[in-house]
Amino acid sequence: MVDLSVVIPVYNEEENLPPLWAELRGVLERLGLAVEVIFVDDGSRDGSAEIVRGLRAADPRVHLVRLKSNAGETAATDAGFKAARGRWVVVMDADLQHDPADIPTLLGYLDRWDAATGWRRERARGDDWRRRLASRIANGVRNRLSDETIQDSGCTFRAFRRECLRDLVLYRGLHRFIPTLLRLRGYRVIEVEVNPRPRRFGRSKYGAWSRAFVAFTDLLAIRWMKSRLLRYEVAENLGGDLGRE
């Protein structure tokens, strides 16, 4: 049995992987759990996969899943979820901006909640004002259109009970909306404050405004899902049939 699966999507993060593993390994050893760490290489063009193979050779808890080409963070996250065997699953970024020391805190909420999602109350000092402004606007628009109260939907540092991920369908871009998707299915989700850190190596894969249009169309899809679910719930409560006039 595996107690905990840690899923880490990776895209061109060769400089970040050794220090990330050094920090993560220390945290996992203190937890005293049966652990697996699944690095999902999303078609990296640098030496990320080779570094993970080196980690795997030294520690059998490390696993590598490789996508044939760069399919995006949603696809990499989904592949990691499908490979995970743990009773609990944590997903985190490979760029050192997520602090492994927050993992025990997130896991501590899973005895009362089905999922715990990170909340960067104070954004990392390395983020310029444009990125902070874009994040604030994006969260406000998302909550307004989705009738949600998630304060930091852009934070992908999360912990789940395994049953939350069964039958979870993730289309491109929907990794940002996993808390909303889980709430739509009746799961209990809590936001937990985490420690954001600036990127030390490499470049961000996202611009402050470059993904705004894509995120907006994803948000419309979520809004449509919620409206369809509401219609079916109303019809079921009334004993009606949506296909009949």
CB 121 within 8 Å of CB 157: no
Q: What is the pLDDT of residues 191-201, one digit of tens each?
A: 999 998 988 87
**pLDDT of 149:** 63
Closest CA to 7 of 45, 58, 41: 41
Amino acid identity at 51:
I
Homologous superfamily of 4-238: Spore Coat Polysaccharide Biosynthesis Protein SpsA; Chain A (3.90.550.10)
Can you give the pTM of this predicted structure? Answer: 0.78
β-pair type (4-10, 88-91)? parallel
**pLDDT of 176:** 83
What are the residue ranges spanned by the domains of the chain?
A: 4-238
Supply φ then ψ for residue 141, to 5 degrees: -65, -45
Q: What is the pLDDT of residues 4-58, one digit of tens each?
A: 999 999 999 999 999 999 999 999 999 999 999 999 999 999 999 999 999 999 9
